[in-house]
Amino acid sequence: MMLIVEMLLLGALLVSGFLWLRQKDKKQYRIGASLAIFTVVFAIILMACDIWQAILALCVAVLLCLAYLVRRTPLSNWPLRITGLFFAMLFALAVLPLYLFPIPSLPKPTGSWHVGTQEFEMVDTSRDGAMYDDPQTPRRLFVRVWYPTDAASGKRRPYLTKREADVTIVSVGNHFGVGSQYGLGNYVYKPLRHIKAHAFENAEVSQTDDMFPTLIFSHGYLSWVGQNTALMELLASHGYIIYSVSHPYDGADIPFADGSVIKTQITERVGYTDNMVGFLTGETHEDRLAFFDSFKTDFDQYRIRKSVEPWGEDVAFLTNTLAQNRTPDSMRAVAAKTDMSKFGMIGMSFGGSNVAYECHKDVRCKAAVNLDGEEFVWELYDTDIRMPFLMIHGDWWKYGFWIVPKTPDFHINDYAYERWETTGERDDVYRIRVKGLQHLGFMDFPITLRMPLRDKAYGSQNGKKALAAVNETVLAFLDKHVKGDPTNFPADVLSQHPALDLHDPRGVSRWWRARDSENGE
């Protein structure tokens, strides 16, 4: 849906062009010329407000101004027809970026609570010199929290503040997504600051006598705490408190309240070794097993593997801070409603791999969700994960996954979270594929781009349907395994969302048992 200002811009441009073609007197000329000038000025203002999609409308409006300046007498039929066709083509071009790159509304949360949000900072004094910090500098973290509130009062938070648009989202655009894929520059996501989220800033936490189940969210590599705002607001409206923690140096640039910024530090690049290629492209389980140990050894040299321990410690520090009620004073009211007896974790991409292991280690954690993250913690391979676990994959059948062949009956993560001998037999480990969804489609981004461009960046799946399918699946899983509600998961969400497909990983256990049988074990 277009913003009112965008419709006003295009309306002024259209009327100005129509009057230029149809003008019969000086009055129409003056009105048309004035509208052309207005469109130029208005487009410049929109671009100054980070709505870069107005750039082609600005160009067309400038041409119209020149046309009004040059034209003083009526045109004959043939030039009129030619210029009319030319203007129609230019107007269509002006509409194109506004159509392809909409500034959407976030899905409205469906729960019975309104949603509040706050932010705070933490310093882990037990960790000096983590990642790229100076040896005497403790680890500094930024956290955003969403929670239930009783009233829709106060100021709704923008999806991005002006500073987040200038710092954080520019950093995101530098590293991945539409900006890098289509060469559109790091400014491509900045218009998202004009989206109004549904959460109210610094709203009072709900005064119900009940405490609320608690979740920690770990964002993706090179990303930021607000990447899944629609999911966070949905969960909060259904009675959860969600803490999204930053991961400095590996996430997007983080602006802090004192004006300082921790910037992304991804400088080391490692290509695929022969052992990695052998494992990832193996056609059979035996082919992959032959390279498995050497794959892990070589992959340990990757920059991303250096992040496993710090990210896990970030989540563990936040978990312990909440459990010991050591949050800042500004957060005490929300923290007092935080129920750590009903506690789970969610993560996307590398964050998904992170929370799978952290939840596995922490007996307080009831369940975890991995949104399309390859598992980078080797301890979870050929291992029964301790708790209920939801793995939601993108459509690797269609888009592939790294250099792994597009094999419908196998995903690399099939080797993780269950013993190979019994893979696919647990009724509390779920593996679901979302048809037509790419990796970055697990963020809020699918609703910010239309086809045909969306297919390459986020997948062909309709953006709103993709968000609904993923977010409602996560909610239903957590309701069952964190809240303890008697839900019919996953049958209900599978029937409600045709985009979802239950993945069967039992090819791993069939192979392993046959292998043992052949070896006489």
**DSSP character string of 15-34:** HHHHHHHH--SHHHHHHHHH
The band of 71, judged by pLDDT with boundaries at 50, 70 and 90, is low
The band of 76, judged by pLDDT with boundaries at 50, 70 and 90, is low
d(Cα 216, Cα 368) in Å, to the nearest integer?
A: 9
Average pLDDT over residues 241-249: 97
Global confidence as pTM: 0.92
The per-residue pLDDT for range 396-413, each reduced to its tens digit, is 988 877 777 778 889 999
Q: Is the confidence at residue 42, as pLDDT, over 70?
A: yes
Q: Are 323 and 364 in contact (CB under 8 A)?
A: yes
- The domain locations on the chain are 4-100, 114-518
Q: Is the confidence at residue 179, as pLDDT, over 90?
A: no
* pLDDT at site 320: 96
* pLDDT at site 506: 96
The band of 32, judged by pLDDT with boundaries at 50, 70 and 90, is confident
Coil, helix or strand for 415? Answer: helix
d(Cα 154, Cα 168) in Å, to the nearest integer?
A: 25
Q: Are 146 and 117 in contact (CB under 8 A)?
A: yes
Task: Return the residue matching tokens 């218009």.
Answer: 191
The per-residue pLDDT for range 94-135, each reduced to its tens digit, is 999 999 999 999 999 999 999 999 999 999 999 999 888 899
Q: Which letter, b or e, does each residue of 282-292 get, where b requires 16 or more Cβ atoms within 10 Å of its Cβ?
A: beebeebbebb
Q: How far is CA 449 from CA 16, 252, 373, 498, in A?
A: 29, 21, 22, 21
Q: Are 30 and 36 in contact (CB under 8 A)?
A: no
Q: Is the confidence at residue 196, as pLDDT, over 90?
A: yes
Average pLDDT over residues 369-394: 96
Q: How far is CA 85 from CA 7, 21, 62, 81, 90, in A?
A: 22, 10, 18, 6, 9
Mean pLDDT of the chain: 90
Coil, helix or strand for 411? Answer: coil
Average pLDDT over residues 237-249: 97
Q: Are 267 and 222 in contact (CB under 8 A)?
A: no
Dihedral sign computed on CA atoms, order 482, 487, 490, 493: negative
Instruction: Give the chain's end-to-end CA distance (angstroms, integer).
Output: 62
Closest C-alpha among 465, 462, 463, 459 to residue 395? 459
Residue percentage of the chain with pLDDT more than 90: 68
d(Cα 99, Cα 6) in Å, to the nearest integer?
A: 10
d(Cα 432, Cα 449) in Å, to the nearest integer?
A: 24
d(Cα 451, Cα 99) in Å, to the nearest integer?
A: 10
Radius of gyration of the chain (CA): 26
Q: How far is CA 408 from CA 294, 394, 470, in A?
A: 26, 12, 20
- The distance between the two most distant Cα atoms of the chain, rounded to a whole number of Å, is 97
Q: Is the confidence at residue 521, as pLDDT, over 60?
A: no
The CATH class given to the 114-518 domain equals alpha beta
Q: Are 224 and 142 in contact (CB under 8 A)?
A: no
Q: Is the confidence at residue 474, as pLDDT, over 90?
A: yes
Reduce the secondary structure of 67-100 to three states and give it as a string: HHHHCCCCCCHHHHHHHHHHHHHHHHHHHHHHHH
* pLDDT at site 19: 78
d(Cα 411, Cα 374) in Å, to the nearest integer?
A: 9
Q: Phi, psi at residue 510, to the nearest 5°? A: -65, -45
The band of 206, judged by pLDDT with boundaries at 50, 70 and 90, is very high
| Helices 4-22 and 55-70, axial angle in degrees (round to 10) | 20
Token duo for residue 410: 């196998």
* pLDDT at site 472: 98
d(Cα 191, Cα 189) in Å, to the nearest integer?
A: 6
Q: Are 216 and 347 in contact (CB under 8 A)?
A: no
The band of 519, judged by pLDDT with boundaries at 50, 70 and 90, is low
